[in-house]
Structure 1
Amino acid sequence: MRLLRQDHKPAPWVLYLAGGCFWGVQGYFQRITGVLDTEVGYANGIQAGTSYHELSRTDHAETVKVTFNSGVLSLEELLAHYFRIIDPTSINRQGNDRGRQYRTGIYYDRDFPEEGLVRIHRCLEALEKRLGQKPVIEVEALKNWVRAEEAHQDYLERNPGGYCHINLSLADRPLDEDFIDYQKPARETLKKELSPEAYHITQEEGTDPPFSHPYDQLDEPGIYVDIVSGQALFSSRDKFDGGCGWPSFSKPILQESLAYKKDRTLAMERTEVRSQGADSHLGHVFPDGPQNLGGLRYCIDGSALRFIPLSKMEEEGYGKWIPFVEK
């Protein structure tokens, strides 16, 4: 079961992403849950107008306007997808396409939140650290945006066999590939490694008594990982006081990190939340969360989690998630 949240009140943000031929970039982002709309066009040229055949003269970049629900798809997760499908060290070339119109760029309009720009630069700093060199991705205010001709809109939807420099099937693969082949320990091993409470909750679908776990009221920057596998699940940035007695989050760090099952116990129908890597029972998700955060409340048992403070994330091997935590 996959949880789709497009029916919840969206908090739409818009970002313009240049990543080579815009057919493939649009085709990829159309497959990402939380993306509400895409449109191809030309951005940041030297004049107000242009066309597909004038790009080398007007210096516009082939670009995709991405409108996304930030209550479902975080800016950091969106950019992680973007970094995955480009070569961030290549100047004016992506795939077989060469020229200034194929440069990489992140452009934002005047309505884009100031905090979003700070978060973009933090993601780029984290990318630079991973690459060991500075990415050659423009980050600029949007100017001279031109919607592309209709023949280019949704091109790969209408021409499935058309040219694409991006492997679109990547959209169906986890961003966090560390847990694709995760081997869950035997129950006997887990009984030895976990506390009785953690074992009962993660392996036997138990629950913490309300207001009993210290994570309920913990207010410290960091991430919460699956106590069984160590998979990163939730960020302190998305944590809020749900008043229910269990830690509450508006969304996971990555949508793919969780699995969902129908739960008809206790004479009611609920949606159970499990970790994707180790299949640990974590809790439930309810549609009564703050609307400005996406409308959902992930009600999670603290005993199913391990908290790693921001100050220790790098040391414990979770450095790549730091941009998802910092405010």
Structure 2
Amino acid sequence: MKSIKLILIFALFLITMGAAMAETKMKEAIFAGGCFWCMEPPYSLINGVSDVSAGYTGGDVPNPTYEMVSTGKTGHYEAIRIIYNPEKVSYERLLDIFWVNIDPTDKGGQFADRGTQYKTAIFYADDKQKAAAEQSRKNLDESGKFNVPVATAILKAATFYEAEDYHQDFYKKNPERYDSYKKGSGRADFISKTWKDKIKAAGNVPQADLSRWEDYVKPDKEKLKSQLTKLQYEVTQKDGTERAFNNEYWDEKRAGIYVDIVSGEPLFSSTDKYKSGTGWPSFVKPIVPQFISEHTDKSWFSVRTEVRSAYGDSHLGHVFEDGPKDRGGLRYCINSAALRFIPAEDLEKEGYGEFRYLFE
């Protein structure tokens, strides 16, 4: 009898996995924005993006190498390929992020990188992407942001060749060199000065604010145990779950933001909090997607999406697709023990003044 139960449970697990995979139809977006090292990070932690790869596309030479492309004679662009779930993030959203990470008026490359291989381009996969890209470029041209036309090309997608392994996730493997390059090339300063308002509108924060956590080093196990309560440690470090309706913030109604109890990363805002009836703090979205990472959780005979903080790597909770439909349809179900609440009136004092706009 026990063996039959186990077989039935396993069968249900396989059916659940199959249904989840069938429901999700991932799509591909390809953008060229100059050095691909700098184009991977803006997309890597966006909710709905499952993979970002650096590579080459647009030329006629098959299986190109970095040495070949860097000559500028292959016709290939340095580019990134984004695999995303259109039910969680729109192509238009990806375009918004693209524009705020490049100089769209540069005809000869990007910042310190010169040559055709560093020019900007949007490679569309179908007519829908093409129309969205053309409309997005037109909107930028007509916005008056620049006094010269946008130079970014819109081209039909060609074969995408992944770059060498050492180019993939370069910002993670060589953070100091990456930071130095992005600043030294002029890209970081251009983004900060030119796109400040647009970055906020797109759901990002200025580069200087993200850099507060780029060098974050997580304390060792013993130090964390001394800093956190037993429950906080169990939840954030051992993927635990606190009791429903018996936790600090499930019924918190004050205006403010919620940050990672370990690293201090800004995670959620009271403006996105709602009463889900589950007994845990629930939010429709994070303040800044870059501070949230998502992982497949196959525990308890089901497939769920775990939510962790990007830099502190704290277990926060899970995200589900049963949230308010008129607010995006997502429910971030978060443990209070993973959070610290900062009232809106204390944001400047606590060093989070850039989020004051959420409450004005």
Q: Give the TM-score category using the shorter length.
A: 0.5 to 0.7
The CA deviation string for residues 51-87 of structure 1, in whole angstroms up to 9 with x for no partner, is: xxxxxxxx966469xxxxxxxxxxxxxxxxx997446
Which of the pair has the greater relative contact order for Cα pairs under 8 Å at 6+ separation? 1
> Structure 1, unaligned stretches of length 5 or more?
46-58, 65-81, 90-103, 108-118, 128-172
Which position in structure 2 is the counterpart of 1:279?
313
> Structure 2, unaligned stretches of length 5 or more?
1-43, 49-84, 111-118, 124-128, 152-186
Asked if the contact 2:104–2:120 (Cα under 8 Å) also holds between the matched residues in 1, the reply is: no
Q: Select the residue among 86, 101, 119 that pairs with 1:6.
A: 86
Alignment partners' CA distance in 1, 2:224 and 2:137: 50
Asked if the contact 2:283–2:332 (Cα under 8 Å) also holds between the matched residues in 1, the reply is: yes
Alignment partners' CA distance in 2, 1:300 and 1:208: 10
Alignment partners' CA distance in 1, 2:308 and 2:276: 19
Answer yes or no: is 1:183 the counterpart of 2:217: yes
Q: Select the residue among 336, 341, 344 that pairs with 1:302.
A: 336
TM-score by length of 2: 0.51
Q: Select the residue among 284, 290, 295 that pairs with 1:261.
A: 295
Q: Which structure has the highest helix share of the two?
A: 2
Query: Between the two proteins, what is the percent identity of the paired residues?
Result: 36
Asked if the contact 2:105–2:148 (Cα under 8 Å) also holds between the matched residues in 1, the reply is: no
Asked if the contact 1:44–1:60 (Cα under 8 Å) also holds between the matched residues in 2, the reply is: no
Which position in structure 1 is the counterpart of 2:249?
215
Matches within 5 A, 1:1-150: 3-4=47-48, 6-8=86-88, 21=105, 37-38=132-133, 39-41=136-138, 42-43=141-142, 62=149, 85-86=190-191, 88=193
SS of residue paired to 1:260: strand
Which position in structure 2 is the counterpart of 1:231?
265
Alignment RMSD: 4.1
Q: 1:241 to 1:44 in 2, by over 3 A?
A: closer
The CA deviation string for residues 161-219 of structure 1, in whole angstroms up to 9 with x for no partner, is: xxxxxxxxxxxx99612222211111111111111111110011111101111311111
Report the AA paired with residue 21 of structure 1: T
Q: 1:105 to 1:296 in 2, by over 3 A?
A: closer
Which position in structure 1 is the counterpart of 2:69?
none
Q: 1:252 to 1:87 in 2, by over 3 A?
A: closer
Asked if the contact 2:273–2:283 (Cα under 8 Å) also holds between the matched residues in 1, the reply is: yes
Q: 1:44 to 1:6 in 2, by over 3 A?
A: closer
Shift of 1:271: 0.8
SS of residue paired to 2:354: helix
Shift of 1:246: 0.6
Alignment partners' CA distance in 2, 1:273 and 1:211: 20
Shift of 1:252: 1.0
TM-score by length of 1: 0.55
Alignment partners' CA distance in 1, 2:305 and 2:143: 45
Alignment partners' CA distance in 2, 1:286 and 1:248: 10
Which position in structure 2 is the counterpart of 1:95?
none
Q: 1:20 to 1:106 in 2, by over 3 A?
A: farther
Asked if the contact 1:8–1:295 (Cα under 8 Å) also holds between the matched residues in 2, the reply is: no
